[in-house]
Amino acid sequence: MRTYWAWLRTKFWWLLAANGFVAFLVFCGFGLGWKHGSITAPNLPAWFLILAVVPALMGASLRLRTTRHSELAVLPLLFIPVPTLLWVAGSLLLGILYLLVSLIAHLFGHGRVN
Q: Is the pLDDT of residue 110 over 70?
A: no
Q: Is the pLDDT of residue 49 over 60?
A: yes
CA distances from 86 to 29, 91, 113 (A): 21, 8, 26
pTM: 0.67
- Residues 51-109 have pLDDT tens digits of 999 889 889 999 998 998 878 888 888 888 888 888 889 999 999 999 998 888 888 87
**Residue 112, SS3 per DSSP:** coil
- Under DSSP, the state recorded for 43 is G
| CA distance linking residue 33 with residue 42, whole number of Å | 13
So where are the chain's domains? 2-78, 80-114
